[in-house]
Structure 1
Amino acid sequence: MAKQKTAATVAALIQPVFEDVELELVDVTFTKERNGWYLRIFIDKPGGVDIEDCQNVSREIELILDETDPIPQSYILEVSSPGIERPLKKPADYDRFSGSLANITTYAPLEGKKNFRGRLIGLRGSDVVLAVNGSEIIIPFEQVAGAHLEVEF
């Protein structure tokens, strides 16, 4: 739980970096791995991000984190694209990526299942709508435990 709180604190601190620019803060994770702690910042923009975007954002974030020092232990900062199987985090993501193939996992079973794979239709009110085998599956947004796009070949 402390990892999620740290990620949320960092996200709030760095959010101003993304105001008035075309870049979007997609996600922040803070995880312990074999080699130590990693603070990962995922960014995106229409057409995708490049290495220069990542470097510029990294420099700005480093200044903020050095000044506020919200993480007591040492860590490695990584700034990157969310990748082609990017997570769907915000309600707006579901409309933005309408028509894309997606995987959605729910906290509790819906229709006896917790994992759904289908074509994203978008949001209807506060529900995510997914087309699965010719039927619409309605998933309350607050029940989404995780969601990401899936690559199509």
Structure 2
Amino acid sequence: MAQQDVASRVAGIVEGIVAPLGMELVDVEYKREGRQMVLRLFLDKEGGITLDDCAEVSREVSEVLDVEDFIGDRYALEVSSPGLNRPLKKESDYARYQGRLVKVKTFELMADEAGNMRKTFLGDLDGCQDGVVVIRLREGQVARIPLVKIAKANLEFEF
């Protein structure tokens, strides 16, 4: 089974486990690191994820994955918080973190409202409407980026 297929199938299973616990699945990674495959789950909840939360989800997910047995390779399961630089994946993430500092990288060069071409945008998130993310850039101008053009987006921690 392809890595993306594994990650997608695992996401469906994990969402069913974590939602009743008041947690959200932020991201799933399934990739080779060195000689071993790693299945990494990133969880979040109001007030943050604890070590006990990670341990509980790890146990429950391990049991289900052992029964389902669709991952062909041996792998290490890791469960953690997304950290300070939490990735933004869904339109609801952009709504929730409105007003926060974000860094967005696009697949291709895009123009901000001043006509500057770039692939990296750093600024305050104004939200997301109709699949378009709006960022007030640190230089003062605004950028409007369609979600489908975003390669990666993260919250940025301000010191």
Could you tell which deviates more after superposition, 37-46 or 103-112?
A: 103-112
Deviation at 1:63, TM superposition (A): 1.1
Most deviating of 106-115 and 60-69: 106-115
The Cα offsets for residues 3-47 of structure 1, whole Å up to 9 and x where unpaired, read as 222211211122211233310000000111114111000000011
Aligned identity (percent) is 42
The corresponding residue for 1:130 is 135
Q: Secondary structure at the match of 2:148?
A: helix
**Residues 15 and 25, structure 2, Cα contact 8 Å, conserved in 1:** yes
TM-score (norm 2): 0.91
Query: Structure 1 counterpart of 2:147, which letter?
Result: F
2:97 maps to 1:92: no
CA distance in 2, matches of 1:116, 1:35: 35
| Structure 1 residue identity aligned to 2:130 | G
Contact 1:108/1:143 (8 A) holds in 2: yes
Letter of the aligned partner of 1:147 in structure 2? A
Q: 2:21, 2:14 → 1: CA distance?
A: 13
Q: Aligned match of 2:154 in 142, 148, 151?
A: 148
The alignment yields a C-alpha RMSD, in angstroms, of 1.3
Q: How far apart, in 2, do the equivalents of 1:137 and 1:70 lie?
A: 42
Q: Secondary structure at the match of 2:89?
A: coil
Report the Cα distance in structure 2 between the residues aligned to 1:138 and 1:34, rounded to whole angstroms: 38
1:114 aligns with 2:119: yes
Rounded to whole Å, the distance in 2 between the matches of 1:42 and 1:19 is 13
Count of residue correspondences: 153
User: 2:44 and 2:92 mapped to 1: Cα distance?
Assistant: 14
Unaligned runs of 5+ in 2: 112-116
Whether contact under 8 Å (1:10, 1:70) holds in the other structure is no
Equivalent residue number for residue 11 of structure 2: 11
Residue ranges of structure 1 left out of the alignment (5+ in a row):
none
Q: Give secondary structure in 2 for the equivalent of 1:17.
A: helix
Task: Give matches, 1:16-95, under 5 Å.
Answer: 16-95=16-95
Residue 114 of structure 2 is matched in structure 1 by none
Aligned residue identity for 1:38: V
CA distance in 2, matches of 1:13, 1:47: 23
